[in-house]
Every structure is written in C-alpha cells, then in structure tokens.
Structure 1
C-alpha cells in the first residue's frame, strides 16, 4: 500500500480498512463504528479518539473534544501533521500494515497528537489547560512532553513508554525516537536548555540527550547512550558519554530504524 496523495485519499483508505475490521471482527464492530465509521472526516475521528483517552472523572470527553475540534478548524496544519505521523509509522514500523492500527492502538502516535493540542493551547496563552493535557498525557500514555516543546511532521515515538521531552526541546521533521529516551536539561538552569533534534535522526531506546545541544541531520544515537555535546550531521554516536563511532548506512536513519550501531563502524564502510 502506497502513502496517500492527499487528506481525502487518506481518509478513504482509513475507512476502507475500518470497514473490513468491523466485518471480520464482530466484537470490535461497535468500537470501530464509534471511532471511525460514524465520522465525516479524519479530524472528527481523531478528536473523538483522543478526547476519550484524555477524559477523567472531572474533565468530560465532550469538553476536551471541543478544544480539539477548535484547534483542527483554526489550524489545519495540526491534522496534516497527524497524517504525516501516521504515514511515518506505517512506513517505518514492520509491525504495521495499515493506517488504522496506529490511530487506534499506538500510544506513541496518540501521545504526539495530544501534545500537538497542548502546544496549540500554549501558544494561545492557555497554559493551565495545556499543562492539564500534559499531565493526562503522562498519566495515560507514560509520555511526558512539555507543551512548549516544538515538534515537526513525520515524528514517530516507537513504543514510547518513558519518553521525556523538555520545555525548550525541538524535534524537526522525520525523526524516530524509541522508548525511554530523555531530551532533558543538565540541571535547574533556566532559558534555552534542551536538545535540538534535526531532520532524519534516529534515537535508540534508553538514550539520554542532555542540555542545549544539537543532534545533526541524519545522525543516529545508539541505544543507552548519554549525549552531552553537539553531534555532527550524518554520524553515529554511542556510549557514556557518547562518541562518534562511524556513519549510518543510509542518509535517513529515521526511516531504516536500524539500531545496530556495529554496522556503522567506519571499518565496515571501506
């Protein structure tokens, strides 16, 4: 299945998949209808799914959904980013064979979309509601992203549990991050104090990237590494503290998802 050419094609493909699931698995039919088939577009479906995830005993889903719908109406780029994120998961995750699965079941995708709303609210000066969503996001999905953090399109949080993203962090387009990654500060300093992750980067499971440093475009951070200084473009770093050990075997490590840093050793690339 190729990536959709536009939002309409994406929504049509999503509904076709949902229809097949509802027919083949009767126990899920009502759930699929509520989440997908009763809606007239992707934005409506997404706001329904996420608002029900974020609701609690005090804050009803309907109230939260109104905020999602407002954001999607006033800033269509938020929903466009969500489609780019689903497409990224579909293309990079070998366990995913359709667009429906990440939308319904992948907490990494869902956590990123909740953050996009929290960031919208933060930009509107509605900081307390943004922080409420951050808290619910952390409680529900185990992912803690400050509402001020800036995320690009095509961002994939794979498995996602334990990911922490600080207030002044930046994650550019087409980045893949695995579980238990921290984009944090080095202390209680204020100001611009968190990492900047450039395009096409892959960050392996358990990596800690600390301080106002830059991970250059197309680079790879090995699992379990602790990165404390800038990383150049198109290199592989690994270790505690992380050091350059080679170059990724492709220009876009975020797409290959190849975490075997041994294959990136300079000696293997001669």
Structure 2
C-alpha cells in the first residue's frame, strides 16, 4: 500500500520586498514556478529536476508533476560473452510522482527509496528547485515546505488532560488564509510586516482552556507548523510534554486506485479538509 504525506508550500516575503510590491498571489507563484520545470545541480554527480507537469482539472488548480534526479551510476551486469560479472556506468533517473493543489498550496509526497531516504528529503529537494525558478527569485520570495500534521491524537490528549499548564505554538508567514482568526492570522501578519521568518509564542497558566488550545492546534496543524503542550493527565500524574510534530497527515492508497490520479487527489484533499 502506498502512503502519500501532505505538505504545505508557503511563499514568504523576502527582506527586500516592500508590501506594495506584492503583485502575484501565492497560488499564481506556485503555478508559474512548477511550469518552469526547474533543474539544479546539487552535487558533482547529481542533477535534480521537475518534469511531467499534468493538470487534473479544467481550471488547472490540481495536478501532478514528477521530481527526480539524474546521475551516472555503476550498474552490476553479467556479460554473457566473457561469462563475467561487470560494472557498467549508466545514466540513472529515478523519480517520483508528486500531487499538488495550487489553490490550497498542498503537495502530496510519497517516499521513493531509490530517490531519497524519506519524504522529507524529497520535499527539501522540491523546495530547492522551486526557489531557483525565475518566478520565485524575481518576486523576492523564499519558499518553505513543511509537513501538515494530523492533530487528532494531540487534540484528544489536550481535551482529556486534567489540566494544561503550558501551550506553545510556532507560526510563520505569510498570513495564512485558512488560519485561526483570533490569534494565528494576526500573529502571521505581524511576522510578515516585520519581515520575520518564524515566530514562537508560549502561554503559561494553572489550567489553560483545553478547547481554545485544541482549536489553535487545528489551525497550526493545517499550515504545517508545530505546537506543544505541558499537560497533567490526571491529578496524580507528573507533567508531561506532548507535541504535534510527531503526527504527519497522510493518505493510504490501495493498489486498485494507484493509477487513478483524480481519485488520489480527492483523497489527499479530503484528508486536508479533515485536518483543517
């Protein structure tokens, strides 16, 4: 069974960009950057590239592309004439299909062991590729790709806790369209206005409101950021620290739909809206 992990793409203001110069929406930047099909050399023997850009709807909001690396590798082969095993240098191009939703700035990434160690490594390469596009560099932006968290178990523990003593959240710009209106959006806007990259806020108390913390965790999880809490499970327990970061949002793809990109895209977005 194939697992596809959800990631969030964020286009963040660079230090040189004045607020009045922000012309293109993040979704427009996302689309233009992918369509450039960038390629970069990341080592003396490895070139990474994006290709096979395909849209799944008429509005060109969802689609797939392939990310891969081209390198020269020593391939073991058997020579029938000499009856010997030999090593032959050949070009290798392992690649993986990536799903995307431009409107919600979502990537669906599955791990390919022949391409990278894990989905985080593939996300890192995609980030480096998109950052090198003319679209991104000319807009004075930088990109952050972070894994969307599944907040279910984290929220469940918050709500079951005897008391919450501390609640901490990380946030980043730009102002997220799907974030909490009371805290998350204003803090991201403040971060954006000060040309900051990351923010961190901690609230301490004898017994913090569990439902408020839970709602904030949902907002933070959907934007790919992190949250943690110090809780007391029961009146007799010691304080323990729980974190959102350990739970990545993912969808499991059964073999009978592995070639149905539209169905897979639907499952990815259903998972995102469930997290959100």
TM-score by length of 1: 0.26
TM-score by length of 2: 0.25
Give the number of the structure whose residues are more often helix, by fraction: 1
